[in-house]
Structure 1
């Protein structure tokens, strides 16, 4: 089906970003009039009524000096990479205090369900909807986004990946009952799986360009592995219920993680599949699991359940060394499942908050923020909030450069960026 242009991308007003040190979620109250940051910083209100933090506690000159010292130590042959990385991460966290929404689009008549950043173009993102619509949006230019119309009811896109071998193409899994390769002209180039049954659909997708394989999971617990030419390598029932997420390890793509509403995340070695009981590890959760994402270095696994737990597992025994991060993001039928993701460059976790009155630390009037956690300590580092876009933000993902965040909030796509960078014209 031929694409059409979407007219609804627009700029939006300023937003609050809150830098965290050791503060509880109770402090994010609508009635709060000041934001205090540990140190000698100050706070003021901007003309729009938003709060603006001048975070003097993170002294940029000191951070730059630390980075220079770390680079000098590395040049001398000393192991300075951890301290260098820590200094860079601290600088980035300082910049988050000035992040705001500078672009917004509402192109769909149903909620957004999937998003994927272009692998080489830092201002281009693809977003898909519950109706099967797909938008390719380069928000750095004035040209209108490319829009592919879906089938409507029953066409929900559940997984979306760019084809790294040809970035004018993308892979998509859907409730329509297929996993397929398409281009942005609306053409279907290859169908990898087709259920031919309205009671069976595909819920998850991942692709390895290096190994030329596609993996996809359905709502009956089956996982399919195919090569990119469309040949099925195997089809196994790996879970008792819906497979909500599949992920290939970015550093050793023979390692597969699968998540399910059967309350487990399983790790598999694709080189030696031995049937449904041939998993390497089975990680039991207290509730159904929405996602399981490997860190960019492949050494950790981040899981998000359907209630109030985020977990970080560490290689090679895949133990939950950090324990769990309590966080409200409960499941709701008409809400795109909330999934935590990694920052592509730093040891940070980003996830949307769905305040729950039954959650232990919930306070009256708690805001629906985007939360950023330290991946090692589990501490809250920052919360982003826009009073003009105060819905539940289900999906959040930084672009490959790590300087721009795309969020899906109901029908809306939000683009966050550091304020000093300015809005793109």
Structure 2
């Protein structure tokens, strides 16, 4: 009697029913070929029409994925890169990578000596999995090798000529023209003024020119640096264009240079350019104020500084035609340190012997002083009220024959604190 072969269903056996159910044979999972590679690039430049690279040894990149790849079971794939000269497609070179898990990015470095300047090439990529199932070839990526610098541009300006003259002024814009002089390889111009921020502008046509507006922010010689850049990123030598920006800032005359703290100062502004109509000024970090100019272009204002130490006045002018000037700066110093005197122990000199009581007279260094804060030899600070004349007297008896120190500052009724005066005096030794 012939034998009969029965295929037992796997689900029936696992169910433990003991029944032998007739079923079709178990089948393995179907393999799917990898996806067509994507994200092609040359030297990290995304493939696009008119792509150019500035090296004869670029690298190609492509991303490969596989539908069979899962987190629990990664799929191993390889990438085959094929490249050729566009005009000689039969001179095709292929290279296959080692296998690695999908999805992943693959790279191929073109060997030195394979590409030449001016040549146009194409490459494509396909992927193969561990079961030798291969994807279709990707769309080809074309690029041109360009390692030649573009021509050096020329620069001109009707507003700021590059001669020995002085023109314009800070804040006054000027037109500058960059010319490629017929070099159609120039894609854009790169420029900066005296090392400032870099900007780019494209020519109006291949081999043409571009005109930009530049506003110098300071007077004196300024250097404009301009380079041509081609579509492959090659940069020309720099053209340096030096022009001179004239000084237009006002002049400031202090009518009361010895004025102290809280005392008014008359400041006169004189124009540094023609047709000045007004001045904008401020004291320290205070609000800006505007004053009109007289017929002769000058203006006089009064400021009353209330900040001990250094004070600053800033001013700039504007013409009737709305042209700005540079900014002028005037600094003055308000000394607010008090004075200290003593008959028994003069400051900076040898005084009485140790144990002799001394009287120290404090004098104000600014108006409005209501009290003095003082200390001898680093002891805790003490406070004494100022008299009607602004002065105060204290006593101190040094007990050792050595150098002693006194420090004192003042405070006004408004809480303004002066600078601190620090002085020394020498105490004599009893014989």
Quick check: which one's helix share is greater? Answer: 1
Structure 2 length as normaliser, TM-score?
A: 0.17
Structure 1 length as normaliser, TM-score?
A: 0.17
> Which protein has greater RCO, CA pairs closer than 8 Å, 6+ apart?
1
